[in-house]
Structure 1
């Protein structure tokens, strides 16, 4: 846990300090991270990367893929909007796939428990930032009961967001559901408690199945 907290501190100091100093109209904060391995571009061997989840002050979310440099700092190589996430598949206890755009990315974690925690954080943050407007297909993973986050919960929270991310009580008042986050325009449309989550199993490739032998016809009586 100490090592993981140290990694988090390095991510916050090198990734988010730089992002938040770039002049964008919103600020990002750390939510969760996981160290993964992915295939190298030449197809030989694997390279380590860190997948980082963040929430922005405007209510959106991001998935960053970063690498750890020799100086101990992290640099982001690719970023996806969390709202563009379409599918999450847990292949086994260490391998999982995400489809944040038109492409699917396969990553292998070092630890099964860390993978489970990260995937849960990813789905819960998606549920929160989309507000029920975007479907998400889950394969091999159970959908969380309500949108919440791990210990590193997203900041920029109104009362509504704080309760949704930090308690097991998913029953909120109508006023809390209608309360916008700080800095966002007030809306009279209540926010839905969770998006449509589809638990899905990958279909069998029929072309790979062995042919079915013909059923012999019964002999006619002589």
Structure 2
């Protein structure tokens, strides 16, 4: 188990989340350039107004999963456990309103990555008890990428979790840009997850490279 959490910490360093509505380029080109820039994990999140559904969403998921497989990047599906099962994805990420991690683990098996969004210490402890592999904590900063985002809470929940002795892999999410990475990592996060900081950047691979550099530099300081 220890080796698994070490591996997951590595994967969380630069966690890219994207769907077709978030990209300036085509989703495939965006993902390829992001991988060239050094992303360590990818989550397919086809949501929000204008998102694909049905067969078109599945086709896009397969295309992006193929790119991830080719390049050795784990491919995680947001919320849709049925889609994750169908594609044999590397894992799923769920929110507090979705199926609990324990039920997902039973459906997907022990080898898959299960990530859970948490906003309080209590939610974090429950997700850990349910068998989550990592937690996504946020929104750290104000964000425009998610229509349903909760109240911004800065890095305090990350700090609170680490102070309480929880060692589970953690990733900060919400409004993270190259300028505000250091406080997130210093608070105790293993990495950052971003949508628009990469997907909407004029230079996708350059943006990813710069973010990864900031994560690495912050974790050493």
Structure possessing the higher relative contact order (Cα contacts under 8 Å, 6 or more residues apart): 2
Short-chain TM bin: under 0.3
Q: Which has the higher helix share?
A: 2
Scaled by the length of structure 2, the TM-score of the pair is: 0.27
TM value normalised by structure 1? 0.27
More strand by share: 1
Structure (1 or 2) with the larger CA radius of gyration: 1
